[in-house]
Amino acid sequence: MRLALYVTCLVDLMRPAVGFAALRLLEGAGCEVVVPPGQTCCGQPAWSAGNRNLARDLAKKAIAELEPFDYVVIPSGSCADHIRNVYPQLLADDAAWAARAAAVAGRSYELSRFLDEILNLAELPVEFSGRVTYHDSCKGLRGLGVKREPRALLSRVRGLTLTEMQDCEECCGFGGAFAVRFGEVSTAIVDRKCEAIAASGADAVVGGDLGCLLNIEGRLRRRGDTRTQVLHLAEALAGTEPA
């Protein structure tokens, strides 16, 4: 099977290791992985800001890049939700694009779901000695229903113990532009997440969305916690080596 890895703009800029970990997982499972070279951003920031026209332009660009593939895999619940659930409604009234949007949406998967459901990934190339707690990011959980998959995958990592934090389904307070627009409110929300992580006694917090992870990591560090690792699920499953 030939699949496209949509690395996301945030991973591209802020943490390339997530993209390479995803590549290792997918190629390791025997997939032919292509990183479409023109990809930039799925357009969610424009959509969230309420600018439908800009969001539409970027959706069309991404659809054209992604439609030649059997599958599209996205290491982000938020971007995957945007492509799966928002693209079709965004282009529903555009005769030339509605069907193309729906087709790409139907073939697009959040990484953990693809690894678990489509690839039935059983063998993982890493070991992790320690306790890990999983943060359910909102769009992955409530938009796509991703809940079981990341936990099932983590349970297959040798040496890893999963320990659930209190209120793991609670929002971390990121919300894209929200985190900057209402910085103090966002900080108050992520503080509760940090307390839950600390109380879980985990060595690492793992999540499926880099936005949430940057938010959680930023607050943990500002609070003086330099010990707790903050890892994307792909990194927890395939290591943090960039490239």
Q: What DSSP letter does each residue of 82-116 carry, written as one string? A: IIIIIHHHHTTT-TTTHHHHHHHHHHEEEHHHIII
Q: Which is nearer to other proteins, 142 or 156 (CB)?
A: 142
**In angstroms, rounded to a whole number, what is the distance separating the alpha carbons of residues 176 and 235?**
22
Rule CB under 8 A: say whether 75 interacts with other proteins: no
Provide the β-strand partners of residue 161. 131
Q: Which is nearer to other proteins, 129 or 164 (CB)?
A: 164
Sketch the per residue contact string, 6 through 35, with other proteins: x for CB under 8 A, - otherwise.
Answer: -x-x-xxxxxxx-xx--------------x
Of positions 32, 52, 145, 155, contacts other proteins by CB under 8 A: 52
Rule CB under 8 A: say whether 130 interacts with other proteins: no
| Pick from 206, 240, 234, 231: nearest CA to 29 | 234
Phi/psi for 5 (5° steps) reads -100, 120
Rule CB under 8 A: say whether 3 interacts with other proteins: no
Of positions 29, 61, 103, 203, contacts other proteins by CB under 8 A: 61
**In angstroms, rounded to a whole number, what is the distance separating the alpha carbons of residues 210 and 97?**
29
**In angstroms, rounded to a whole number, what is the distance separating the alpha carbons of residues 188 and 147?**
25
Rule CB under 8 A: say whether 104 interacts with other proteins: no
Rule CB under 8 A: say whether 38 interacts with other proteins: yes
List the interface residues with other proteins, window 142-181 (CB under 8 A).
142-143, 169-171, 173-181
Tell me how far, at minimum, the Cβ of 30 lies from other proteins, in Å. Answer: 19
**In angstroms, rounded to a whole number, what is the distance separating the alpha carbons of residues 205 and 190?**
13
* Residue 78 neighbours by CB distance under 10 Å: 27
Tell me how far, at minimum, the Cβ of 122 lies from other proteins, in Å. Answer: 27
Tell me how far, at minimum, the Cβ of 216 lies from other proteins, in Å. Answer: 9
Q: What letter does residue 207 receive in the DSSP assignment? A: E
List the interface residues with other proteins, window 186-205 (CB under 8 A).
186-192
For the four alpha carbons of 235, 241, 242 and 243, in that order, the dihedral sign comes to negative
Amino acid identity at 204: A
Q: Return residues touching other proteins (CB under 8 A).
A: 7, 9, 11-17, 19-20, 35, 37-41, 43, 45-52, 54, 57-58, 61, 138-139, 142-143, 169-171, 173-192, 214-215, 217-219, 221-222, 242-243
